[in-house]
Amino acid sequence: MGERQSPTGTWIDRSATLCEKDIREAYHELIDLQLRSLYPDFFRNLYVQTPKERERGRVAVIEYQDDEIPDPEVFKNSQDVKTHFDNPIAANQSGPRKRLFVLEDLSLSYVEALGSRLRIPPSFFAAHWADPATPAFNQRNPLRRYAKGSFVIRYPSTQPLRVDADPDVHGHVFRCDFNLERHIYCYDPKALLIVDPPVRGKVRSLTDERPLSVDHHSNEYAYSRMNSLDPEFNDVDILSPDPTEWTKGWQRPQYVSMFDDIVSLEPDLPAREIGPRTCTNVARKLAICSFLSFLRRRILNMLRLQANLRTTILHVNRCDYLREFGFVVNVKYIMGLVSSEAKEHFEVLGLHRHNADDVPEWERDGWIAVQDYCGKIINMADAFLQSYPQFTSMQEAQAANKNALNLAHITSLTMVFVPLSTIAAIFSMTDDFLPGEKKS
């Protein structure tokens, strides 16, 4: 009987006892047991990763200590991650360690290193793998909508870039060159954040898997680099009395790499104030800001539907309904899904609890703003769709009037043609038609 293959080698026989297996092999067996049926696509992705793809992505750790500024450490590879866990705790350190791990992309080596050492179920990683726009159902447990220990936030983002490809050949949707499936989302706290990598120099065509270049400096999208769509990230009511501190504490995300923004913007808080939830404040706020920026872009797109540059006459219809109708229907459908996703986040993060004292106001207000924006876009789409029957009635009335006018012209021409034909017949008569002639 042949041995079944794991993503990195041969699976260990289940009959073996746990004491006979190391932690890595035990985690491989758990991946096979949990992911093969619940997340078959993610399991297949782990299996086909090349040695280079297994090391793709980045991992950082931010360790909080009393009276010390946290200094993020970015690991070069998965071996450095394992070395970090193997190192003994410093002798002068008292109490448990408080660490935040940030993982970019889902590479097998990092999943194995973090999952086995932090005792994270493989389903936690699998829940982040599928594209948020695809029909995936196991990203959350319906039997436990809110849990203090873990959460999954799916959010859209907007980046100014242009793919060097013919849309007639390759279409408008491309697959990012990640391990993630993405297209152009205790007293001793150990938290793990999984974030999407930034779009780099290449994407792949969905038609033939051809790598295509990405232009991050296109003048066509230069207006979006003004970042006017990004909301204010800082929550400052009054400036510090010391003018030299005004710019030091001002945080400015780049909204290109979630990994880099988290590492650079992680707040300078004492270790005693850091917990499993507070250590992810920056990441949760970045998700809300990316969501709002995406929705603001959708609002501008809806407003541009009425800006028909082909005409400047006010009484002429300024929107091409036949061209834009399908787009608006799609926008309404997608915004309905996005709105329901935002409501789920409200419950997943525990923001719906009225007696929750640990919920920051900015988070509750931020997700309420996301839902309000979704409702605004849906209302704009409804107004557009309701105007379409009126436009159709006007088009039919104009066509009927044009047909009636053409019929009136035909009638007038017929009335003119009859007397002209009679006169022509009279003038064309010869002696053959006189009385007494043979043709008379």
Residues 146 and 350: beta-carbon distance below 8 Å: yes
The pLDDT-based confidence of 1 (bands split at 50, 70, 90) is very low
- Could you tell me if 342 and 215 lie in one domain? no
Cα–Cα distance for residue pair 133/156, rounded to 1 Å = 9
d(CA 434, CA 429): 9
- Structural domain including 199 reads 5-304
CB 393 within 8 A of CB 401: no
Of the three residues 304, 319, 353, the one that is the final residue of a domain is 304
Closest CA to 189 of 66, 112, 274: 274
- Distance between CA atoms of residues 76 and 59, nearest Å: 8
The Cα 410–Cα 378 span in angstroms is 48
Residue 218 CB-density burial (10 A; 0-12 exposed, 13-18 middle, 19+ buried): middle
Using one digit for the tens of pLDDT, what is the confidence trace for 329-388?
888 888 888 888 888 888 888 887 766 667 788 888 888 899 999 999 999 888 888 877
Instruction: Answer yes or no: do 324 and 295 share one domain.
Output: no
- 12 compared with 198, residue with greater pLDDT: 198
pLDDT at position 255: 80
Answer yes or no: do 291 and 418 share one domain.
no
pLDDT of res. 138: 63
- How far, in Å, CA of 358 to CA of 374, rounded? 26
Could you say which of 280, 304, 328 is where a domain stops?
Answer: 304
- pLDDT over 70 (residue 427): no
Q: What is the domain count for the chain?
A: 2
Give 143-181 as a DSSP string.
T-S--SS------------EE-S-HHHH-S-EEESSSS-
Q: Are 261 and 336 part of one and the same domain?
A: no
Residues 233, 317: one domain? no
Are both 183 and 271 inside the same structural domain?
yes
What confidence tier does 187 reach under pLDDT thresholds 50, 70, 90?
very low
DSSP state of 88: P
Q: How far is CA 388 from the centre of its chain?
A: 29
> Please, which pLDDT band fits residue 243 given cuts at 50, 70 and 90?
confident
Residue with the bigger pLDDT between 167 and 85: it is 85
Asked if 351 and 272 sit in the same domain, the reply is no
Query: pLDDT by residue (tens digit) across 269-301?
Result: 555 566 667 778 888 888 888 888 888 888 888
Select the highest-mean-pLDDT range: 13-27, 127-141, 230-244: 230-244
Instruction: List pLDDT tens digits, range 103-122.
Output: 888 889 999 999 888 888 88
**Which residue among 304, 336, 352 closes a domain?**
304
What's the confidence (pLDDT) of residue 85? 85
- Residues 325, 416 share a domain: yes
Question: What pLDDT is attached to residue 384?
Answer: 82
Q: Are residues 122 and 240 in the same domain?
A: yes
Tell which wins on pLDDT, 297 or 245.
297
Residues 100 and 223 in one domain: yes
Most trustworthy range by pLDDT among 38-47, 301-310, 390-399: 38-47
pLDDT at 64: 80
Same domain, 227 and 244: yes
Do 37 and 104 share a domain, yes or no?
yes
- The structure tokens 């920051």 sit at 360
Whether 367 and 284 have beta carbons less than 8 Å apart is answered as no
Q: What is the pLDDT of residue 185?
A: 35
